[in-house]
Amino acid sequence: MVVYLDHAATTPVRSEVIEAYASAMATVGNPASIHGPGQQARRLLEEARERVAATLGCDPIELVFTSGGTESINLALKGLYWHRQQDRRRAAVLAPAGEHHATLDTVEWLERHEGASPLWIPLDDLGRVSLDTAAERFADHGPDIAVATALWANNEVGTIQPVVRLAALAAAAAVPFHLDAVSAYGHLPIDLADLRAASGSVGASGLVALSVSAHKIGGPVGIGALVVSRAAVVEPLQHGGGQQRGLRSGTQDVAAAVGFAVAAELMALERTAEQERLGTLRDRLVAGVRATVPEAELTGDPSERLASNANFVFPGAQGDSMLFLLDLAGVAVSTGSACQAGTVACPARDGTPGDGGPIGPADHAGSDDDRDGRGRLPPGPAARVRTGESGRFRRPRHGAGRSSLSSRPVTACGWPSGGWRVDLPGESSGSDEWRSRLRRGSGTRRRRRP
Ligand SMILES: Cc1ncc(COP(=O)(O)O)c(C=O)c1O
């Protein structure tokens, strides 16, 4: 039996979602058509929009369905950036250093193609954004900042950021602020109206946009949303039929929207109790890992963190090796964002091998034994990677060797181009690497592992 602990990468689709999705798929009609079947599809779609919007505290008209979190973030950052160039040039884009690649790469793209100037905010040892530095950046560059963005809860180490205070700084500087709420959705209460009020966001200043994704809450892959406050103007990325207020042209996916709505409603109903339960299980898992591997270091903020997240550094052990051996032991974890699978995104986005990874994000599927990995880390993998017993693994050839691994979540985004690698112990600097990356913050972007 596989113990699936990689819910930060994606969650199992709930049976209620599959049922609703399949039923909506069986109906015909383009929601933009004016005949009966088209109007029936439109009803389903708009009801779904209302149901998802209710879980985000926004008006349905403010909710734009996208293909997922990545598109949502691209639309927000590029769209706000472009709009802010219209009356005068504003080149700066403010973002914390530990963002998801959907943000990092979008900011880099804006830098390369649009002449944007990134203003990175460093994180501290616990993965927390420095509010002092953020305040300085807003004070020094405010009028030139086109858009600011932040990740609400770090998807790798679980640290929850002071986003209301960040949004308040943006509001005071009259800068539009976008929130990547992909990993917070389902775990933290989200209410756009409340967040705007609490942060003093008014009109197009302060919190104006928020990204979420359905597959993180038991919904289908391939749908997410960008919530855009009415007062904000976002330039579209794609042009065509003018659907969704012209912000996202293209025929809308009714079945996916219905599936998203079902997942969102169930999540909203269960969230409070579920987070309590997950927090208890997470604590058991942490205690179990520490009992098995006393030198294991829990990264991220010990208290201000997602209830579903446990991320460890195992000094002297390679993250890749741990992941591989845990996978063989039937425990699915990750060493960073799934879209960086095999590239060891955490704690080493800059190209050096890392040695940690979240073990234990868990959600609504599977037994409690699944959820805390039976409260313990199988001792074998940790010991084997430290002693070097694991040796150097090569990328499996396509065929039997590959299929046994490729069915697991860590391989969801493919193998690293350089092949699967396990380094012998002693080649990485352990938690020091993670810490130095957090401090780097304002520096230029990390190079990816080739
Ligand atoms: C924090 C965060 N932002 C954005 C994304 C991208 O979302 P999607 O996979 O829906 O494109 C992810 C997915 O892992 C994420 O964790």
* pLDDT tens string 185-239: 999 999 999 999 999 999 999 999 999 999 999 999 999 999 999 999 999 999 9
Q: Which CATH number fits domain 15-265: 3.40.630.30, 3.30.160.270, 3.40.50.2300, 3.40.640.10?
A: 3.40.640.10
3-state secondary structure 272-314: HHHHHHHHHHHHHHHHHHHHHCCCCEECCCCCCECCCCCEEEC
Examine the pLDDT at 267 and tell me if it is beyond 60: yes
Residue 339 annotated to the active site: yes
For residue 10, which atom of ligand 1 is closest to its CA? Answer: 14
pLDDT band at 417 (very low <50, low <70, confident <90, very high): very low
Q: Residue 68 class from Cβ within 10 Å (0-12 exposed, 13-18 middle, 19+ buried)?
A: buried
pLDDT band at 336 (very low <50, low <70, confident <90, very high): confident
Coil, strand or helix at 419: coil
Q: Which of 72, 211, 216, 260 to mutate to test the pocket of ligand 1 (most atoms within 8 A of CB)?
A: 216
Residue range 294-305: mean pLDDT, rounded: 95
For residue 9, which atom of ligand 1 is closest to its CA? Answer: 14
Examine the pLDDT at 409 and tell me if it is beyond 70: no
Predicted pLDDT of residue 384: 53
Residue range 26-38: mean pLDDT, rounded: 97
Examine the pLDDT at 338 and tell me if it is beyond 90: no
Range in 29-33, 171-175, 198-202, 432-436 with the lowest mean pLDDT: 432-436
Per the model's pLDDT, the better-predicted residue between 161 and 357 turns out to be 161
Ligand 1 shell residues, CB under 6 Å: 68-70, 73, 100, 102, 151, 155, 180, 182-183, 213, 215, 224, 337-338
Mean of per-residue pLDDT scores for the chain: 81
Question: Given 58, 339, 346, 413, which residue is catalytic?
Answer: 339
Atom 5 of ligand 1, residue of closest alpha carbon: 69
Place of tokens 């979190």: 69
Examine the pLDDT at 421 and tell me if it is beyond 50: no
* Distance from residue 10's CA to the centre of ligand 1 (Å): 9
For residue 70, which atom of ligand 1 is closest to its CA? Answer: 11
Q: Which of 73, 100, 188, 306 to mutate to test the pocket of ligand 1 (most atoms within 8 A of CB)?
A: 100
Predicted pLDDT of residue 1: 83
* Distance from residue 213's CA to the centre of ligand 1 (Å): 7
Range in 48-62, 153-167, 308-322, 402-416 with the lowest mean pLDDT: 402-416
Atom 4 of ligand 1, residue of closest alpha carbon: 69
Examine the pLDDT at 432 and tell me if it is beyond 50: no
End-to-end Cα spacing for the chain? 34
pLDDT band at 361 (very low <50, low <70, confident <90, very high): very low
Per the model's pLDDT, the better-predicted residue between 440 and 96 turns out to be 96
Per the model's pLDDT, the better-predicted residue between 397 and 104 turns out to be 104
CB 234 within 8 Å of CB 227: no
Every domain of the chain and the residues it spans: 3-8+271-440, 15-265
Atom 14 of ligand 1, residue of closest alpha carbon: 9
Beta carbons within 8 Å of 406's beta carbon, 6+ residues apart = none
Residue range 163-170: mean pLDDT, rounded: 98
* Distance from residue 100's CA to the centre of ligand 1 (Å): 7
Predicted pLDDT of residue 376: 37
Superfamily of domain 3-8+271-440: Aspartate Aminotransferase, domain 1 (3.90.1150.10)
For residue 214, which atom of ligand 1 is closest to its CA? Answer: 10
CB 392 within 8 Å of CB 374: no
* Distance from residue 232's CA to the centre of ligand 1 (Å): 23
- Tell me the per-residue pLDDT of 380-408, one tens digit each, with 9 for 90 and over: 555 555 544 433 322 222 222 222 222 22
Task: Count the neighbouring beta carbons within 10 Å of the beta carbon of residue 23.
Answer: 13
For residue 72, which atom of ligand 1 is closest to its CA? Answer: 11
* Distance from residue 165's CA to the centre of ligand 1 (Å): 23
pLDDT band at 318 (very low <50, low <70, confident <90, very high): confident
Residue range 15-39: mean pLDDT, rounded: 97
Strand-pair partners of 211: 180, 226
The candidate with the shortest Cα–Cα distance to 220, out of 25, 2, 435, 423, is 25
Percentage of the chain with pLDDT > 70?
Answer: 75
Q: Which of 213, 260, 305 to mutate to test the pocket of ligand 1 (most atoms within 8 A of CB)?
A: 213
Range in 243-257, 287-301, 342-356 with the lowest mean pLDDT: 342-356
Predicted pLDDT of residue 382: 53
